[in-house]
Amino acid sequence: MAARDATRLHEEYRLRLAMEKEVELAKIDAHRAVAGAQADVLAAGLATANIDIVGGESMFLDRLVGSIGLGKGLAK
């Protein structure tokens, strides 16, 4: 009887791990889809923007990323 219980417990553990893996993979796919949509929106906005880069491209990118981070912080 103990061997059957151990087998059952092991199978339940294996099934739980498989389910948790599927949930995590679904979360990753959802995050990937959101990031792709955000990138598309940003690309569309920047495509029509009239931007004067002052201080070099790296400074512009740093400010852009900082502004996005600030906006996300305020949105929470």
As a whole number of angstroms, the distance between CA 13 and CA 74 comes to 42
pTM: 0.54
Burial 8-43 (b: 16+ CB within 10 A, else e): eeeeeeeeeeeeeeeeeeeeeeeeeeeeeeeeeeee
pLDDT in tens, 19-71: 999 999 999 999 999 999 988 888 888 788 777 666 666 777 788 888 888 77
As a whole number of angstroms, the distance between CA 64 and CA 53 comes to 11
Compute the chain's Rg from CA coordinates: 23
